[in-house]
A and B are shown apart, each in its own frame.
Chain A
Amino acid sequence: MADVPDISRRTVVKQLALALTAAGSGAFNLEAARVVHALTGEELQTGGYIPKLLTGEEFATVSRLAELIVPADAGGGSGVDAGAPEFIDLLCSQNDDLAEVYQTGLAWVDETMLDRTGARFIEATSDEQTALLDGLVEAEGRRRGGLRRGVPFFTWVRRMTVDAYYTSPIGIADVGYQGNAVLSEFEVSREALNFVNSRIGQLDELGNSGDAPEEDEPEIDAR
């Protein structure tokens, strides 16, 4: 990877903040923002991370899980690229309850895979790994089933991997968030305006007489 310039990220962020709030700064300092993105991204991809709480094996297993839960594709990198394993390890190192969730959960993952294949999770084939995750997703919607015990851990590692991904520069770019910018006027783009106006024109067809509500509320927003 490229050498990180000899300037601390904190300094850059601070300068960005100053640039953004300087009087009369009409144009958004996009370059400064991009530098922050790049620096952060590089920090996350150093590969030299030493886990604070998880063992090397546990960290490797979490990394593989993060890669399976959020795989790299044309729209963006993986959970690992987004720093999910580091995020999980850091928070576990600060919270005994969370550490226990992961230590117990990772042990369960290995035991279950050993029972199924004779290999631990990290050593199993990709097909065997995805078969276990498929089973967990299936067990999620049921009250019983052999894999039911692993569901609470699975939901933790999925939730935190997803959070790590979509709060990273690559995840934010993946969904196409365009804000956190300095504008002189607010306006909806012509394309979006045309789109919504065409939908308004279709309101008669859009309406429903009351579908069954979905099962749950979205989680809290981070604002």
Chain B
Amino acid sequence: MSNPDPQIPQLPSSLSLIQKLGAVALISGLLVAMVYEYTKPMIADNQRVALEAALYNVLPASASSRLTFRLEDDQLTLVPDDTPNEGDLIYAGYDNEHKLVGIALTAAAQGYQDTVKILYAYDPYSSCIKDFVVLKSTETPGFGDKIATDESFLKNFECLDAKVNEDQSALAHAIKTVRHGTKKNPWEIDAIAGATITSNAVGRMLDKSGQLFHPAIAQNLNLLENAQRSTQP
């Protein structure tokens, strides 16, 4: 009577299940680590090429050399050109005479589908945002992706006012996107009809980036202007 029913199969012990799950996880981990190590330099190379292409398009044609700075607590420090950008880097372009000719900055904000990331040109002398290149976007084809092609939208960036206030603590006027056809001020962005969410994202990201970087650039303009000369032997 006390004998167990021979029909009921013996369940494996919890320890055996954990061991087997651990073994499969170990195989998986090894595979991921191997492929990660193999593809890491290729991915870094692709990202560097994409950034170089974007910088080439955004910085003025007269820029023949470039320096990269990191912003930390309103201070700029020179870093190597291949430093990974975590949203805290400033790319300064210099002409043949080591004169500062333009600055490129990254900005990102949540769009309609996912985060939209751009690289934009900022002229510290005229305080204008002049151009931008989309680095990452998965916005709706035919609508959200028009931010890179719509001519009337790109006209906003002939000279979008992004000057800093007198005490160099923030932007004088917050950059904002307004409804299509209602732009009145040079710091406003005229939205694309039918792609309002992505247009708003561009306004938000430029304002956020401008509030962070532009005052620091204004405070450290001398450092930026003389950096190329001081790095020359």
To the question of whether A and B form a pair in one complex, the answer is no
On A, residues with C-beta under 8 Å from B are: none
On B, residues with C-beta under 8 Å from A are: none
